Structures are given as structure tokens and as C-alpha cells.
Amino acid sequence: MCKSKLFLTFFLSTLFFQFVGAQDFEYFKNNIIKLSSSEFHGRGYVKNGDTKASDYLKKQFQLLGIQPLAKSYFQNYSFEVNTFPGKMAISLNGKKLQPAIDFVINPASKKISGKFGISLFDLARIQSDSTVLKKYLQSDFSNKFVLIDTLGWGKDPFRKSMREAISGNMVNAAGILEVVDTGMIFSVRTFQNTYTKSQLRRKAIPANVSEIQIAIDQKLISHKARNVIGFLPGETDTFIVFTAHYDHLGHMGKDTYYPGANDNASGTSMVLDFAKAMAAKKGKHKYSYAFMLFSGEEAGLLGSRYYVGNPLFSLSKIKQVLNFDMVATGSGGVNIFNGTVLKGEFMLLDTINKVNTFGLELKAKSTSRSSDHYPFHQKQVPALFILTDGKEVGYHIPQDRFEKLPFNAYQKLFKLIYQYIEAKENGEIIYSTNSDR
């Protein structure tokens, strides 16, 4: 064994014994329970769910002794967002469909109410007669919904281009209905379309469907959002930054809310867990630690983009960003996005994992644009995005609840990241098989 590996093995093993007691798994879980409860309305924009969550997070920072970076823990900004605060009802041929089970509204849809006929977009007829499409596009669908079923349309790019053309409402219909078998998820948009669109689960559609009764309450609002930011001072003004987004999807109608336990009450709670551990650590840290909980991620990384454009200290002072998003699974391993970019950082994580026999399946991934590390990455700030993999919990569905979370990897992952930070504090020892120095 080379000297560097031998020293690193001893060093990291020592860190393991120093670590015991730093993590509070019950605190982590209790925060997920709280944040994903109906009290916070899915941490979205209906009933100010995200604002209520931010008040709770501020209180946690205060209880833990985390200091504000500015005069307040809050960094305020605003954006427009399309919301669905009231009625959310669809019936087909008199059959009432269940929101989020039988149908999901497109997040950019407009308000609509009434009874409409349904026109089937029949690709088979269009393909057999070139004049049919021309006549179809010239028809008046202003008082009809067009139903699109792409099953049997063949492969992309034809399938994709046709679906986008019709879904984009080239036919100027009152609404678009798209038939799906899987992948029916809700999301957030910051704009409103001129029509209404919905996905329908195939099994929920009655035979020979010809009529839709629909009532969708929608409001495009100007929403006041806020990031929640605190820090622990260290010996230097160089920062290690822990981030997660605390917002989620909120409501799709009055009675359906999205708890977002895994996405991303889990990542938010992991940042709080680290804040608790770092605040309790004896002695002063070499680096300062910032804890940034972002809003507006589901609407397009708006909170993190706002922060990067309006930083509370120079971005050049950040040694490392660690972003946590959906960390309550793990049966499929742990994804380290930017791991193929920040190879030394991934090597250090991988070595700690092996030395301590944590048994985590760490997967080095390329850059991802889907979470709050990305605005930092764009500014050349070293940023890792950590996400556990597993199929136990669905994505953007109301079933993303605390009771569904398996926590396959969390405790070992926390120890891994904690030791990674300790290694950073003690000189960034990187494992190498090619050196005896």
C-alpha cells in the first residue's frame, strides 16, 4: 500500500470515530414530517404554503444558532406563477374523473368552465388521405376539446413533432386532452397559455367519449418569494455552502396538494441536519458554513438564480457548494452530478465510502441543469448535486409522502458528506494509487 493511501485510510478512520453522535436522524425525519404536512399546503403558491414553510425554516435556524448573513434570514424577490386554487373538475360522458389520479392539468392552463364536445385527432385517417389534415386544421374547434392519443403513432421524430404541433394548439381548440399510460405528473409554470390542456389516464376514459364537462379555477399571480439563508462563521471568510430547495408544487385545485416529502423536504431537512451538526461541533471551523434554502426551484431554479445574481458575499469566496435534492431513497445508489467534472471531489467521496465500508453505490454523473447547484456551476463555482436513486417514491405526485420514504442510504450518506467536509477542513487529502509521497 502506498504511503498516501495508508495515511488517508488512517485519517479517514479517525474521522469516523470523531463523527459518532453528530447526526440526528430523528431531527431529520421530524422536519420532513413537518414540511410535508398539510399545514404548509405543499410549499407552493396557493395559501402561501412556501411562505409558511420559510417562517418555519427561519425558526429552525434561530434555534440552532445559525446567524443571518444580512439583516434578515430572508432574501426577498418576486415572480409570476400560474396557480390553481379552487375548482378542479373533469367529467367525460358524465363520468367524474379524480384529480391527480385520472387526470392532471397542464400547469400553464387558463381558467375554463362549461360543457364541450370532443374531437378525436385521428392520425390513421390523416395518414391515409393527405387532404384530411388540411381540412382538420381549417376546422372550427373553438368550442371543442381535441383528444390526442399518440399510441400507434410510431417513433420520433414524427411522433414528437405531431404531438407538439397539436399540443401547441395549432387547431385553436378550447382545450387539448392528451391520453397517457404513465408519466402523469404535475409541475409549475410562470406563464398562462390561451387554452387549457390536460393529461388523461387511458383507463379513465369511457368508450366512445364525446363530451367533456370541465371546471378549472386558475389565477396568474405575482408571488412574493424568499430564500432562507444563514451561516456559521469560521476562521476564514471562505465558505462551504449547503443548499436545497424547500418549495414544491403546492395545490392542483382546492382539495389536492402535493406533500413533496422526498422532493424536497428531504434535501431541506438534510441541510438542517448538517446545520445542527456543525453548530454543535466543538472548536471553530476552518471554513465558514452557509446554509441556503431556496424557493422557486420548481418554477425554474428562480431562487438560486436570484441568489447568484445578488450574492450576500463574493462567489469567489465559495470553496464548495453541496446541493441536496431528493435524498430519502437510495436503493438505486447515490448520484453525484458534476462528479465527472469535479473528479478530485468525487475521488475523495469514493475513497471515504470505501475506507469506511459504507457500501454506498456512488455514481459519478455529468452536469445537470435540473437543480440549484447549476446557477453556481455556471459561474464557475465548484458545485456538486447529490440525489439518491430509487423507485420507491414517485415524482411530482401526491403520493410523495413521508410514509413512503425508505431512507435506504441517508444515514451513511450523511456520514460520508460529514467526513468529506472534515477532509476539506484538514487539507483535501486526495487518494492516489500512483504516488508514494
- Give the DSSP per-residue string, 316-379: GGEEEEEEE-S-S--TT-EEEETTTTSHHHHHHHHHHHHHTT----EEEE---SSSTTHHHHHT
68 or 2, higher pLDDT: 68
Q: Are residues 286 and 321 part of one domain?
A: yes
Domain assignment present for residue 436? The answer is no
Q: What is the mean pLDDT of the chain?
A: 90
pLDDT over threshold 50, residue 3: no
* Domain-terminating residue out of 195, 216, 237: 216
As a whole number, mean pLDDT of residues 23-42 equals 97
Helix (H) or strand (E) holding 73: none
Q: How far is 378 from 106, CA to CA, in rounded Å?
A: 30
Question: Is there a domain that residue 437 lies in?
Answer: no
> Would you say residue 1 has pLDDT above 50?
no
184/269 same-domain check: no
Statement: residue 183 has pLDDT above 90: no
In this structure, the answer to whether residues 387 and 305 fall within a common structural domain is: yes
- Per the domain annotation, does 236 fall within a domain? yes
pLDDT the model gives residue 126: 64
Q: State the burial class of residue 310 (Cβ atoms within 10 Å of its Cβ: 0-12, 13-18, 19+).
A: exposed
326 and 413 inside one domain: yes
> In this structure, are 62 and 159 located in the same domain?
no
Residues 111, 24, single domain; the answer is: no
What pLDDT does 350 receive?
97
**Per-residue model confidence (pLDDT) at position 151:** 78
Under the banding of pLDDT at 50, 70 and 90, the label for residue 110 is very high
What CATH number is given to the structural domain containing 116? 3.50.30.30
190, part of any domain:
yes
Residues 190 and 233 in one domain: no
Least confident range from 123-132, 209-218, 263-272, 367-376: namely 123-132
Q: Find out whether 268 and 35 touch, Cβ atoms under 8 Å.
A: yes
pLDDT of 431 strictly over 50: no
Q: Chain centroid to CA 306: how far?
A: 17
Q: What local confidence, expressed as pLDDT, does residue 168 receive?
A: 72
pLDDT the model gives residue 436: 33
CB neighbour list of residue 160: distance below 8 Å, 6 or more residues apart: none
Q: Residue 16 pLDDT more than 80?
A: no
- Environment class of residue 368 by beta-carbon count within 10 Å: exposed (0-12), middle (13-18) or buried (19+)? middle
Q: Which three cell numbers stand for residue 379?
A: 459561474
CATH assignment at residue 67: 3.40.630.10
Task: Identify the CA nearest to 278 among candidates 17, 8, 19.
Answer: 19
Percent of the chain exceeding pLDDT 70 equals 87
The pLDDT of residue 379 is above 60: yes
Closest to 115 in 3D by CA, of 89, 139, 140, 137: 89
How does residue 437 score in pLDDT terms, banded at 50, 70 and 90?
Answer: very low
51 and 12, same domain (yes or no):
yes
d(CA 293, CA 106): 27
Residue 20 has pLDDT above 50, yes or no: no
- At residue 166, φ and ψ (nearest 5 deg) are -75, -40
Q: What is the pLDDT of residue 77?
A: 98
Inter-residue contact 335 to 366 (CB < 8 Å): no
At 282 the pLDDT is 80
pLDDT, average across residues 44-63: 97
pLDDT band at 327 (very low <50, low <70, confident <90, very high): very high
pLDDT at residue 123, as a whole number: 65
Integer angstrom CA distances of residue 286 from 67, 116, 238, 423: 17, 66, 9, 11
pTM of the model: 0.92
Could you give the number of structural domains in the chain? 2
Note whether 151 and 103 are same-domain residues. Answer: yes
DSSP labels for 168-215? Answer: TTTT--SEEEEEESS-------SS--SSEEEEEEGGGSPTT--EEEEE
Q: What mean pLDDT is predicted for residues 240-262?
A: 98
Mean pLDDT of 21-25: 77
Per the CB < 8 A criterion, the answer to whether 395 and 263 are in contact is yes
* Confidence (pLDDT) at 89: 98
Say whether pLDDT at 38 is over 60.
yes
Among 23, 27, 22, 44, CA closest to 264: 44
pLDDT of 433: 37
| Final residue in a domain of this structure, among 178, 196, 216 | 216
Supply the range of the domain harboring residue 168: 88-216
pLDDT at 112: 97
Is 205 in the same domain as 260?
no
Nearest alpha-carbon partner for 179 in 203, 196, 160: 203
Measure the CA angle with vertex 368, ends 364 and 371; round to 5°: 115
Please tell me which residue, 283 or 16, carries the higher pLDDT value.
Answer: 283
Give the cell for residue 321.
457548494
Judge if 255 and 312 occupy the same domain: yes
Last residue of a domain, one of 166, 196, 216: 216
Least reliable range by pLDDT among 175-179, 188-192, 304-308: 175-179
Confidence category of residue 166, pLDDT binned at 50, 70, 90:
low
Give the pLDDT band (50/70/90) at residue 182. Answer: confident
CA distances 197 to 147, 160, 355, Å, are: 10, 17, 52
Nearest-5° Cα angle at 223, 217 to 227: 135
**140 and 75 in a common domain:** no
Q: Number of helices and strands (H, E) in the chain?
A: 11, 19
pLDDT of residue 283: 78
72 contacts: CB under 8 Å, gap ≥ 6:
none
